[in-house]
Structure 1
Amino acid sequence: MPTKTLPKAGDHLISLQSAIDMTTRFRAGREARLIRPDQDIDVLPLSETFHREAIDNLLAVPGCAAIRIYFGLDDYNKIHTLIVPVNKNNEDILSTSDGQNIEPIIVEVGQRCPPTCPPTSDLNT
């Protein structure tokens, strides 16, 4: 059901242990959630890393009150995250406030793991 209400700021935080538990479960069941022929070809990433500048540019969009993460498929059926700015009415910012079309800032092309994975941490071992 659509809502014009943004989540509360404090609602986004979880403990490190909760994050470890969630990422462990995801890694353990990642391939099993897929049907053949999508198994064992890294359709589901373990993580994606984005440069801070990309996120800063997104947050600098006039009226940005939050961000939204979408999931999309590339031409090889690999899942990617797409991050867009969201206004105070919980709407994607894909044009200017006066309705003019703009080239929206949509962050994608993250560094997918695998194949390019970060150093070991509690969330990826």
Structure 2
Amino acid sequence: MNHFISLAEASEMTARYRQQRNAILQPSFQNLNLLAVCETFDRSGFDALLSKPACAFIRIYYGMDADMKIHAIIVAADENNQDILPTVALANEVDDDILDRANRCPDLCPPDSPLIG
């Protein structure tokens, strides 16, 4: 299954998102940068997930931090579509199983990309 799209389609979709990202929020949540325009991760994080022995997919969840800001939470998944996660006993430990803590735009935005407008 091919999941790739053209630059033109990606540009159209990201422009629509930038234009509408505040409009979809209730007024009290607008203009607080709760919805990121993009998030930038180091390659090493993806390499760690992709190197999991059973990794067949990458899955992106969306979560909300204590400041109500939305974040991409990225995990590996196996061929049975099961997330590859730490055991419950290690649920409070930080390991290389769950990727987050990206550079969010705004405030840390990439320069000169047709996807950022």
Following superposition, the deviation at residue 36 of structure 1 comes to: 2.3
Residues 1:69 and 2:60 are matched in the alignment? yes
Query: Runs ≥4 in structure 1, deviation > 2 angstroms?
Result: 100-104
Give the letter aligned to residue 62 of structure 2: F
TM, length-normalised to structure 1:
0.85
Give CA deviations for 1:6-61 in whole Å, capped at 9, x if unaligned: xx2x2x11111000100010001111110122100100000000000011011111
Give CA deviations for 1:57-110 in whole Å, capped at 9, x if unaligned: 1111110001000000000000000000000011101148xxx96656100000
Q: Which segments of 5 or more consecutive residues in structure 2 lack a partner in the other structure? A: none
Q: In the alignment, what sits opposite 2:111? A: 119
Following superposition, the deviation at residue 124 of structure 1 comes to: 0.6
User: Structure 2 vs 1, CA of residues 122 and 51 (structure 1 numbering), >3 Å: closer, same or farther?
Assistant: same
Candidates 83, 97, 103, aligned match of 1:105:
97
Q: Sequence identity, in percent?
A: 44
TM, length-normalised to structure 2:
0.90
Range 20-29 or range 103-112, more displaced: 103-112
Give the letter aligned to residue 108 of structure 1: D
Q: In the alignment, what sits opposite 2:30? A: 39
What do you get for the CA RMSD once the two structures are aligned?
1.7
Give the letter aligned to residue 120 of structure 1: D
Give the letter aligned to residue 15 of structure 1: S
Instruction: Identify, as 1 or 2, the structure richer in strand.
Output: 2
CA distance in 2, matches of 1:72, 1:119: 26
